[in-house]
């Protein structure tokens, strides 16, 4: 595992958490107090606590941030590819 690479289980924890707490798209804001910012802070705290209780140590702040954004990227990619996979499956079923 690379120094800046968080454990895959931590990324998966964030994926699951973000699926449970979807947010509607919001306008950009720089005040740091949007629903997105509050959810980000809440999930960072919950992930650190979960990891500490389960594994006996807290992941570094860098791992928490990296895992959160990797999870967001994964979900974003999954959402963008979903229409393509529907077309592929429809084509496959027609054969």
Q: How far apart are CA 64 and CA 17, in angstroms?
A: 13
Of the two residues 57 and 81, the one the predictor is more confident about is 57
Residue 10: which pLDDT band, with cuts at 50, 70 and 90?
A: very high
- Residue spans per domain, the chain: 8-21+30-94
Which pLDDT belongs to residue 88? 65
Per residue in 18-40, pLDDT (tens digit) is 999 987 677 777 887 888 888 99
Q: Quote the pLDDT of residue 12.
A: 95
Q: What is the pLDDT of residue 60?
A: 92
Alpha-carbon distances of 84 from 8, 19, 71, 78, 89, rounded to whole Å: 26, 21, 21, 10, 9
Contact yes or no for 6/70 (Cβ under 8 A) = yes
Query: Does the pLDDT of residue 89 top 70, yes or no?
Result: no
C-alpha 30/C-alpha 62 separation (Å) is 22
Structure tokens at 23: 């947010």
């Amino acid at each position: 595992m690379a120094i800046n690479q968080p454990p895959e289980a931590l990324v998966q924890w964030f994926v699951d958490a973000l699926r449970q707490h979807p947010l509607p798209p919001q306008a950009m804001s720089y005040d740091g107090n949007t629903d997105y910012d509050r959810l980000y802070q809440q999930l960072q705290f919950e992930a650190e606590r979960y990891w500490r209780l389960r594994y006996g140590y807290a992941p570094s702040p860098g791992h928490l941030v990296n895992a959160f954004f990797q999870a967001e990227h994964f979900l974003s990619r999954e959402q963008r590819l979903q229409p393509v996979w529907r077309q592929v499956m429809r084509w496959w079923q027609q054969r």
